[in-house]
């Protein structure tokens, strides 16, 4: 369906026009918000995503190691919900005119906009990434071609750790090194950090800690102390960034370009915009900005939908009040770590490890997809 056709279908119900909600970005946050809005309101809900399939980003390191994953079509996920789907790219927002312009030349008018454009990993030349399906698939081909050789995974966060262990398990003939500028597992409990180190040792993942990468070359890395770290394949996982659409439009943003929101997830400069997921700087119950994570994007989507429903009903939206519960990390397909955390994300001395943790992590990933069509399932972690 084209944007013009959608605008032409705005209907009148009971003598008043239905409100128009446009959701841009169909990731864990935007797709779930669109589903929730269709159930909670009688607005016309339009979801715009640049691609016709839902991407399970939390499984992209599996794609890189050659495992097929489900990528359901939005047409199937949204079937029967009344949400209109548009495979297009949002290229601009006119906040005064309440209009989103699209790559195909069309435009969508909105009464409320849900901004959910997510994030990506900016990568240096000669490096690979696992932050998009195309990037992960390219890396997978490169790893299969390499057969033997050295892989350097740069970034000691959760994505780097999941990627390095997945590659080491799937490609045992490659030598995998995890390069981090800090100490691996510094933000885990002592037991959690000890477990990830044990698993890295078992899988043959070499650790290069307190090593800051200043350049990626075709044949490896240059470190801040001048040392060379040879590598045939470099995977860059050091940090997510957001696009500049919000900033270009004139929405209030933080230094990283994420939309600033109030406690109800409405833009602090334009309250007819609700921002969720990686593209928003939402604050949890402890007062700090929540991590860019599926574990925060989905609860934000459900709350954002409640906020929109309240605004459309003319009532006062409620604050989000997000609290963390657990961090769940895959360490290959047969091991994992569940790190129980305080509401503010500080680790508690409580972990589940091994096959049990791998099974729980798999169940969480399955549930993250299931919630996309059952938006009332709670998603607190
Ligand atoms: C390998 C990997 C493993 C991860 N593991 C975990 C994990 O275990 N737990 C966890 O909590 N998080 C994990 N994450 C992070 C998690 O995937 C993200 O935080 C989450 O996807 C954010 O959801 P989102 O809806 O904000 O954005 P996204 O999922 O990034 O979705 C944004 C969508 O918007 C679309 N889009 C972007 N720009 C435009 C535009 N201009 N017009 C139209 N559409 C657009 C994109 O194509 C995309 O479909 C992982 C990430 C990676 C890469």
Beta strands 206-208 and 174-179 are parallel
> Which of 148, 151, 155 lies closest to 205, judged by CA?
151
48 lines ligand 1 (CB under 6 A): yes
pLDDT in tens, 267-309: 999 999 999 999 999 999 889 999 999 999 999 999 999 999 9
**What percentage of residues in the chain have a pLDDT greater than 70?**
95
258 lines ligand 1 (CB under 6 A): no
315 CB neighbour count, 10 Å cutoff: 9
**What percentage of residues in the chain have a pLDDT greater than 90?**
91
∠ CA 58-61-66 to the nearest 5 degrees?
A: 125
- Specify the pTM: 0.95
Q: Rounded to the nearest whole angstrom, what is the distance from the C-alpha of residue 88 to the centroid of ligand 1?
A: 17
41 CB neighbour count, 10 Å cutoff: 20
Question: Does this chain's domain 3-120+240-322 share its CATH topology with 127-238?
Answer: yes
How far is 191 from 357, CA to CA, in rounded Å?
14
Higher pLDDT, 17 or 99: 99
CATH number of 127-238, picked from 3.50.50.60, 3.10.20.30, 3.30.465.10, 3.40.50.10490: 3.50.50.60
242 lines ligand 1 (CB under 6 A): no
55 lines ligand 1 (CB under 6 A): yes
381 lines ligand 1 (CB under 6 A): no
Helix (H) or strand (E) holding 216: strand 213-217
164 lines ligand 1 (CB under 6 A): no
Q: Point out the ligand 1 atom lying closest to the alpha carbon of residue 121.
A: 53
Map tokens 């519960």 to a residue.
325
Q: Are 196 and 338 in contact (CB under 8 A)?
A: no
157 lines ligand 1 (CB under 6 A): no
Q: Rounded to the nearest whole angstrom, what is the distance from the C-alpha of residue 315 to the centroid of ligand 1?
A: 31
How far is 132 from 245, CA to CA, in rounded Å?
19
How far is 348 from 339, CA to CA, in rounded Å?
7
How far is 155 from 149, CA to CA, in rounded Å?
20
Residue minimizing CA distance to atom 15 of ligand 1? 293
Q: Mutation test of ligand 1: which of 155, 282, 297 has the most ligand atoms closer than 8 Å to its C-beta?
A: 297
Query: Could you tell me the pLDDT band of residue 17, with boundaries at 50, 70 and 90?
Result: confident
Q: Are 265 and 318 in contact (CB under 8 A)?
A: no
Query: Could you tell me the pLDDT band of residue 317, with boundaries at 50, 70 and 90?
Result: very high
What residues form DSSP beta bridges with 216? 221
The fold for domain 3-120+240-322 equals FAD/NAD(P)-binding domain (3.50.50)
Q: Point out the ligand 1 atom lying closest to the alpha carbon of residue 119.
A: 30
87 lines ligand 1 (CB under 6 A): no
pLDDT in tens, 26-65: 999 999 999 999 999 999 999 999 999 999 999 999 999 9
Q: Are 63 and 78 in contact (CB under 8 A)?
A: no
Tokens of 308: 């929109």
* HSE-up of residue 134 (Cα within 13 Å, Cβ side): 3
Phi, psi at 167, each rounded to 5°: -65, -45
Q: Are 169 and 134 in contact (CB under 8 A)?
A: no
Q: Rounded to the nearest whole angstrom, what is the distance from the C-alpha of residue 281 to the centroid of ligand 1?
A: 15
Tokens of 121: 């990993």
Q: Are 354 and 194 in contact (CB under 8 A)?
A: no
Residue minimizing CA distance to atom 27 of ligand 1? 118
24 lines ligand 1 (CB under 6 A): yes
Q: Rounded to the nearest whole angstrom, what is the distance from the C-alpha of residue 300 to the centroid of ligand 1?
A: 13
How far is 139 from 321, CA to CA, in rounded Å?
38
Average pLDDT of 223-236? 97
Q: Rounded to the nearest whole angstrom, what is the distance from the C-alpha of residue 119 to the centroid of ligand 1?
A: 6
Query: Could you tell me the pLDDT band of residue 376, with boundaries at 50, 70 and 90?
Result: confident
Q: Point out the ligand 1 atom lying closest to the alpha carbon of residue 278.
A: 26
Q: Rounded to the nearest whole angstrom, what is the distance from the C-alpha of residue 73 to the centroid of ligand 1?
A: 16
| Per-residue confidence (pLDDT) for residue 10, from 0 to 100 | 45
What residues form DSSP beta bridges with 20? 44
What residues form DSSP beta bridges with 223? 213
Average pLDDT of 311-320? 96
Q: Would you say residue 207 has pLDDT above 70?
A: yes
Tokens of 316: 């006062």
Each domain of the chain, given as residue ranges in start order, spans 3-120+240-322, 127-238
Residues 6+ apart with CB under 8 A from 63: 69, 130, 133, 136, 137, 140
Q: Are 184 and 209 in contact (CB under 8 A)?
A: yes
How far is 108 from 85, CA to CA, in rounded Å?
12
Average pLDDT of 178-198? 97
Residue count of the chain, please give it.
381
Q: Point out the ligand 1 atom lying closest to the alpha carbon of residue 361.
A: 8
Tokens of 346: 């500080």
């Amino acid at each position: 369906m084209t944007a013009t056709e959608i605008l032409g279908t705005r209907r009148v119900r009971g003598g008043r026009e239905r409100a128009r909600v446009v959701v841009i970005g169909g990731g864990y946050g935007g797709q779930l918000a669109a589903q929730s809005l269709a159930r909670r309101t009688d607005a016309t809900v339009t979801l715009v995503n640049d691609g016709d399939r839902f991407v399970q980003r939390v499984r992209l390191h599996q794609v890189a190691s050659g495992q097929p994953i489900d990528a359901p079509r939005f047409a199937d996920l949204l079937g029967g919900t009344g949400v209109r789907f548009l495979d297009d790219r949002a290229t601009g927002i006119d906040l005064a005119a309440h209009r989103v312009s699209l790559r195909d030349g069309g435009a969508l008018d909105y009464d409320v906009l849900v901004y959910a454009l997510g994030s990506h990993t900016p990568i240096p030349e000669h490096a690979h990434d696992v932050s998009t399906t195309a990037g992960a698939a390219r890396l997978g081909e490169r790893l299969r071609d390499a057969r033997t050789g050295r892989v350097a995974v740069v970034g000691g966060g959760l994505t780097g750790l999941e990627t390095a262990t997945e590659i080491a398990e799937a490609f045992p003939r490659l030598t995998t090194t995890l390069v981090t500028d800090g100490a691996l597992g510094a933000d885990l409990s002592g037991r959690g950090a000890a477990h990830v180190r044990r698993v890295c040792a078992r899988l043959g993942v070499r650790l290069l800690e307190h090593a800051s990468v200043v350049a990626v070359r075709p044949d490896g890395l240059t470190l801040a102390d001048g040392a060379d770290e040879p590598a045939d394949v470099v995977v860059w996982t050091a940090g997510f960034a957001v696009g500049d659409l919000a900033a270009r439009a004139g929405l209030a943003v933080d230094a990283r370009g994420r939309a600033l929101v109030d406690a109800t997830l409405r833009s602090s400069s334009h309250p007819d915009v609700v921002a969720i997921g990686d593209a928003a700087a939402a604050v949890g119950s402890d007062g700090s900005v929540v991590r860019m994570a599926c574990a925060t994007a989905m609860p934000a989507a459900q709350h954002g939908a409640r906020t929109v429903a309240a605004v459309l009903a003319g009532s006062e939206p409620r604050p989000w009040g997000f609290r963390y519960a657990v961090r769940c990390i895959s360490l290959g397909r047969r091991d994992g770590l569940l790190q129980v955390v305080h509401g503010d994300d500080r680790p508690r001395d409580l972990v589940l490890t091994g096959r049990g943790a791998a099974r729980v992590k798999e169940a969480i990933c399955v549930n993250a997809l299931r919630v996309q069509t059952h938006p009332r399932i709670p998603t607190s972690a």
